Chains A and B, each alone.
Chain A
């Protein structure tokens, strides 16, 4: 190998190698850019443009009218409520199955069912709730005939804030169960026993040890559930058509050209949705960093 000293070839190859390695992820990055990042960025940029291509704040300022702000507000409220209740109830059920001393064989079916129910969102879910809690739904009729309770006379409406939250919980709770179970499995038995032997009650163990340890996971679940319900279109649309004023429905109608006449307001609506979910996730990342000082 006397050629080593005089031949520049190995150096050239060594210098080119990093770019060759990069080639391996180019298809993925190209796909992600073309069909995920670019469309999103396009919307963001378009939200600040006039139809003629000039920069403007008018579109975004156009969001600040009562009907649109109300739509954001009810969307945020439904998402917060269904995420919070989903987290809470999902945590309770997951706790019951993982740590609460229920028979071990129950766990498999619960997990499978959660997988099904968390994906049973959208149009069929709306049908299911209409068939159950609609005006002639099974539960509505049973409550009326057996207990004399007419929920519609009491002001219940499946198209209301609580009605929609109730429907959304059908996919939020199982999603929570699916993603929080590994975290619950991560709680070591020794921690509970160490706390008990040091004199802590069950409540003290949860307040001082288990919940702080779970906190980052809970935050992540909450952020995910929030985004999950904030972007949901199909369920609400199948329940109501475009009559319900939540942001995704408004945007859906706008894209279809049903309602608003200003296309660039549509960009602003979508931009607003991105901002809300980005804020939720930014908050999550920030809280998580604070909560995880004790992690490596």
Chain B
């Protein structure tokens, strides 16, 4: 009886989640009257703004990941190694972006870093890009930190570090050649998640007026009928690819662990 109930719960969940996906795919193919076609996709792909904005967002995602890794890995490592007492504080800070709405944070940015402030980041396009990247890093912080910290928990940071130090390695060597390779899988899984978040992000990019993929999708949605469905399918495929890659590296890690 338990199992029957479990199947029912699972089936209802599956229906709820698959109907919108099927509906979207079906809708995206309906552009030409009376037949299914890929016309909507053709038009989306033919739109130069599609590639421009997607390219911009991919670049932002990569920059966010690089910055996030450079910020989070040394910090998580240092906290585990030298300052375990302040871990609760660091964890609290990393969880804040889950609680403070992104729109509030970006509102703060706009007022704090405007042209008349001491740090006029919004004054230039490049400065705004950097600010947006910091904003994305903030959004990704909870996931990135958790992933890296979990990865560090799996290795004995202290022993590894002391062993490396006794062999004469400096901090940069330790981080780049010892710690990073050992938490690479964790970093990668955090990176894919970050990528998925940044690619579709709307609020921050829209309010900072950057030509990102999220605002482009919104704009298209407000003006067209069928192309948005095609875009949704494409966005879903991108997200799915990120998660699939994340699973893949995680599985790879388990595999190598088991072999050891």
A112 in complex: contacting residue of B200, B217, B247, CB < 8 Å? B247
Contacts A28-B75, A227-B101; A38 near B108 (Cβ below 8 A): yes
Check if A252 sits within 8 Å of B2, measured CB to CB: no
Residues of B within 8 A of A89 (CB): 13
CB of A237 within 8 A of CB of B202, answer yes
List residues of chain B with CB within 8 A of the CB of A130: 221, 228-229
Nearest Cβ in chain B — how far from A90, in angstroms? 9
A12–chain B nearest beta-carbon distance, Å: 20
Q: Are A36 and B75 in contact (CB under 8 A)?
A: no
Q: Which residues of B contact A278 (CB under 8 A)?
A: 99
Cβ–Cβ < 8 Å partners of A174 in chain B: 17
- A217-253, CB under 8 A of B: which get 1 and which 0? 0000000100110110110011001000000100110
- Verify B9–A96 contact, CB threshold 8 A: yes
- Whether, in the assembled complex, A116 has its beta carbon less than 8 Å from a beta carbon of chain B, the answer is yes
- Complex alpha-carbon distance, A281 and B243, angstroms: 29
Contacts of B90 in A (CB 8 A): 25, 28
Report yes or no: A25 in contact with B86, Cβ–Cβ below 8 A: yes
B2: which of A32, A35, A121, A202 is its contact (CB, 8 Å)? A202
What's the nearest-Cβ distance from chain A to residue B127, in Å? 13
A132 B20 Cβ-Cβ under 8 A: yes
Query: Could you tell me which residues of chain B, from 200 to 222, have a CB within 8 Å of some CB in chain A?
Result: 200-203, 206-207, 214, 217-218, 221-222
Chain B interface residues toward A at CB < 8 A: 2-3, 5-7, 9-10, 13, 16-17, 19-24, 26-28, 71-72, 74-75, 78-79, 82-83, 86, 90, 93, 96-112, 134-135, 137-138, 141, 193, 196-197, 200-203, 206-207, 214, 217-218, 221-222, 228-229, 231-232, 235-236, 239-240, 242-244, 246-247
- Neighbour of B17 across the interface among A170, A224, A266, CB < 8 A: A170
* Nearest A residue to B3, CB-CB: A101
Whether the pair A123, B16 counts as a contact (CB closer than 8 A) is no
Q: Which residues of B contact A42 (CB under 8 A)?
A: 108, 111-112
Interface residues on A, range: 35 or more
| Interface locus among A146-154, A208-216, A269-277 | A269-277
Given contacts A35-B109, A40-B105, A169-B16, 10 further A-B contacts (CB under 8 A): A25-B86, A31-B137, A35-B138, A93-B13, A96-B7, A102-B7, A116-B243, A122-B200, A130-B228, A131-B26
DSSP class of B's interface residues: helix, strand, loop or mixed?
Answer: helix
How distant is the Cα of A108 from the Cα of B5 in the complex, in angstroms? Answer: 20
Q: How many A-B residue pairs have CB under 8 A?
A: 256
Contact A35 B27, beta carbon cutoff 8 Å: no
In contact, A124 and B20 (Cβ under 8 angstroms): no
Contacts of A228 in B (CB 8 A): 98
Contacts of A46 in B (CB 8 A): 111
How long is the Cα–Cα vector from A235 to B226 in the complex, in angstroms?
18
Report how far A287 CA is from B207 CA in the complex, Å. Answer: 36
CB <8 Å contact, B82 and A24: yes
Closest Cβ of chain B to A36, distance in Å, is: 5
Q: Which of A32, A100, A131, A169 has the most CB of B within 10 A?
A: A131
Residue of A nearest to B23 (CB): A132
- Whether the Cβ atoms of B96 and A36 lie closer than 8 Å is yes
Contact in complex: A273, B104 (CB < 8 Å): yes
With a CB–CB cut-off of 8 A, which chain B residues contact A100? 2-3, 5-7, 9-10
Say yes or no: B83 contacts A25, CB within 8 Å: yes
Complex Cα spacing A37 to B83, Å: 21
Q: Contact between A252 and B229 (Cβ–Cβ < 8 Å)? A: no
Query: Which residue of A has the minimal Cβ distance to B79?
Result: A25
Complex: chain B residue closest to A91, CB-CB:
B9
At the interface, yes or no: A117 with Cβ under 8 Å from chain B? yes
Instruction: Identify 28 residue pairs between A and B in the complex whose beta-carbon atoms are under 8 Å apart, listed by A's number.
Output: A27-B71, A28-B90, A39-B109, A42-B112, A43-B111, A96-B9, A100-B2, A106-B10, A119-B242, A119-B243, A122-B200, A122-B201, A123-B214, A124-B217, A126-B221, A127-B24, A127-B221, A127-B232, A131-B23, A131-B228, A131-B229, A131-B232, A202-B2, A231-B101, A255-B106, A256-B207, A267-B107, A274-B100
